[in-house]
Structure 1
Amino acid sequence: MSSDPWGRVDETGTVYVRTADGEQVVGSWQAGSPEEALAYFERKYEGLVVEIGLLEKRVKTTDLSAKDAQTAIDHLREQVDAHHAVGDLDALRARLDKLVSLVEKRREERKAQRAKQSDEARSAKEALVAEAEELARSDQWRSAGERLRSLVDTWKGLPRLDRKSDDELWHRFSHARSAFSKRRKQHFAQLDAQREEARRTKERLVAEAEALSNSTDWGPTAARYRDLMSEWKAAGRAQREHEDDLWNRFRGAQDVFFAARSSVFAERDAEQAENLKLKEELAEEAEKLLPVTDLKAARAAFRSVNERWEAIGHVPRDARPKVEGRMHAVERALQEAEEAEWRRTNPEARARAEGLTGQLQAAVDKLKGQIEQARAQGNNAKADKLERELEGRQALLDQALKGLHEFGG
């Protein structure tokens, strides 16, 4: 009979293993010596030790699932419980029990981790939904659209929740995207309609602008071009592929007209500048007629100046009042000289002036006599009244005498 601390072989070749519950039959050995029997079953034991060690390592260092780990533990426990090995089987059972506890702990940790990840995923998806619903009301079509596409990518990278929760959140998220897309589609459809209307309006404006480009009716045409420009700005933008071409045609038509007008105006301005120089020379010639000493000669000279003046064309508008004012001043001076001459040589006017002077003189003389008589009679009140009347008549007489003097008498 042969034995070691954990097992023995009896004389019949039966192999036993010692356990806390007493000896257990390992098996029968008839092929060799008892030592060989123990060595064989001890190797069996070492094999179990190695397998348990490997399983412990996998559980501690890999992501082996709890289900697979438990299956492996149960398989090893069956082998240990079968007592087909010689060694400290109770120690192996203790290691397996400890491994079960470790697997359960890992199971709870993973469960908690999954719950945490699920809560984080739920919060993240709820935040995505809230942002998507906010973006659905935005009018920033480009940036909001890009952000919504980014949110979809973020959503795809998040773990799924339970089916009900995940489906509800996805429905809200998808609805927000659809609402935004619908609003954006309506906006651009309306924008396309507006741009098409703008294109038709601008086609009409271009046609009119091109028709006016050769007009020589400078003032009204320039005013119409200003109106057309206002209508152009009010029309809004056409489609991009039409806008630049329409604008180039519209602007080109204006340029043709305004270039022609500028050329004509430049010639006219040069001509008017020369006219101004000539009229300033005539105004200076007219001013030399003053003061008037010989009315007849002055009038004849002025008439000659005026005829030459009328033969000259327009002058620049801003210079016109000053140069014309100089001629008008000479003309007024001649008219005043004529009126004075007429008053001196008009017999009827002289007779009227002499008659009026005589009447006023007689009235003054009469009043003076009445005043002297009233003073002599002591009637001072009447004399004072007559003196006030005399003052008025004397003033009229003085004025009449002045007028008579103008006639040279």
Structure 2
Amino acid sequence: MEHPDHPLTEARRYGYVEDGGVWLRPVLGQPARRIGQVKDTDDDALRYFAQRHEAFRAKVDELLNRLETADNQGSYLMKILHLQEQCKQHDGLGDYETLHRRLHEAEEGLKVSVARNREKNLATKLGLIEQAEELSNSEDWIVASEEVKELRQAWLKTGPVDKELTEELEGRFHGAVQLFFDRRKAFQTDRKVLARRTVDRYRELVNQAETLKNSDQFEATSRQLKQLQTAWRDVNGNLPKKQAAELW
């Protein structure tokens, strides 16, 4: 008993040979079109283009199988759209209607999934913005700096939101982060200026004390030294211990 020639049967179902050319019947709203020519026999040509369809179908199967187990399914959307378009242009003989339908169903499901993920990402980013804006006014510089760094990492790890919201959210988050670091920089600059002024004042008092060390006007000198000690305490500057010890 002879086995049916399945590729040839499928090829004749979806195409035909005419005037030495291989034709694909109307599909997906497209008119019949010539997809190749007969080189040897009509049947060989039909089988060849049926095999081309099978190779394309395998490509679709592989993509949809990968999609099912993918972590970042949104990255597959453009691939699916590209294959849908190829269904209308691919030169083969087979059931392109079914392949196109499967891809369209995957596209619709993917759009729903992407929309849900973007809603989740939006909620996450709004939470990060709220935290960043709170920290932007903090003066607990060490702790807040670490928290801001963690927020930046969390922001980078959070997926995209709808395009029309991206610029606004990016601006709010990075604006709050930049405000915090600008304030920290200004604080550090002011602290350095104050430290320099404190050192200058201490040195001034030290120099005044140095001028009195050889004085033989003991009563007046004692009174002046007490005044210098009081002035020293009034400066109340916070200096590193080593530097303070050197001045003292």
| TM-score > 0.5, shorter chain as reference | yes
Partner of 1:109: 109
Q: Is the 8 A contact 2:132 2:173 kept in 1?
A: yes
Instruction: Determine helix, strand or coil for the equivalent of 1:75.
Output: coil
Partner of 1:26: 17
In structure 2, C-alpha distance between the alignment counterparts of 1:193 and 1:25, rounded to whole Å: 89
Report the Cα offset of residue 100 of structure 1.
Answer: 2.3
Q: Deviations over 1:150-205 (max 9, x none)?
A: 43444344444334312222222233234334433443444344323322321222
Whichever of the two has the greater Rg, that structure is 1
Partner of 1:40: 44
Q: More helix per residue: 1 or 2?
A: 1
Q: Is the 8 A contact 1:202 1:232 kept in 2?
A: yes
Calculate the TM-score normalised by the size of structure 2. 0.65
Change (3 A) 1:119 1:219: farther
Partner of 1:170: 170
Partner of 2:207: 207
Identity within the alignment, %: 19
Residue 60 in 1 paired to residue 57 in 2? no
The Cα RMSD (Å) is 3.9
Instruction: Determine helix, strand or coil for the equivalent of 1:65.
Output: helix
In structure 2, C-alpha distance between the alignment counterparts of 1:163 and 1:49, rounded to whole Å: 37
Residue 71 in 1 paired to residue 85 in 2? yes
In structure 1, C-alpha distance between the alignment counterparts of 2:126 and 2:109, rounded to whole Å: 25
Opposite residue 68 of structure 1, the aligned amino acid is H
Partner of 1:248: 246
Q: Deviations over 1:97-119 (max 9, x none)?
A: 33223212221232123212322
Unaligned 5+ segments in structure 1 are: 8-16, 30-35, 81-91, 251-409
Instruction: Determine helix, strand or coil for the equivalent of 1:161.
Output: coil
In structure 2, C-alpha distance between the alignment counterparts of 1:138 and 1:73, rounded to whole Å: 58
In structure 2, C-alpha distance between the alignment counterparts of 1:112 and 1:134, rounded to whole Å: 34
Unaligned 5+ segments in structure 2 are: 21-39, 67-75
Instruction: Determine helix, strand or coil for the equivalent of 2:138.
Output: coil
Partner of 1:367: none
**Aligned pairs, number:** 213
Report the Cα offset of residue 146 of structure 1.
Answer: 4.3
Calculate the TM-score normalised by the size of structure 1. 0.42
Q: Is the 8 A contact 1:195 1:236 kept in 2?
A: no
In structure 2, C-alpha distance between the alignment counterparts of 1:132 and 1:191, rounded to whole Å: 24
Report the Cα offset of residue 206 of structure 1.
Answer: 0.7
Residue 128 in 1 paired to residue 128 in 2? yes
Opposite residue 43 of structure 1, the aligned amino acid is R
Q: Is the 8 A contact 1:59 1:103 kept in 2?
A: no
Alignment of 1:224-373 (within 5 A): 225=225, 228-237=228-237, 244-245=242-243, 247-250=245-248
In structure 2, C-alpha distance between the alignment counterparts of 1:183 and 1:47, rounded to whole Å: 68
Opposite residue 60 of structure 1, the aligned amino acid is L
In structure 1, C-alpha distance between the alignment counterparts of 2:54 and 2:183, rounded to whole Å: 68
Report the Cα offset of residue 235 of structure 1.
Answer: 1.0
Q: Is the 8 A contact 1:196 1:238 kept in 2?
A: no
Report the Cα offset of residue 65 of structure 1.
Answer: 1.4
Q: Is the 8 A contact 2:60 2:83 kept in 1?
A: no
Q: Deviations over 1:198-230 (max 9, x none)?
A: 223212221233234446777886776565444
Instruction: Determine helix, strand or coil for the equivalent of 2:88.
Output: helix
In structure 2, C-alpha distance between the alignment counterparts of 1:246 and 1:28, rounded to whole Å: 103
In structure 2, C-alpha distance between the alignment counterparts of 1:178 and 1:18, rounded to whole Å: 67
Q: Is the 8 A contact 1:55 1:72 kept in 2?
A: no
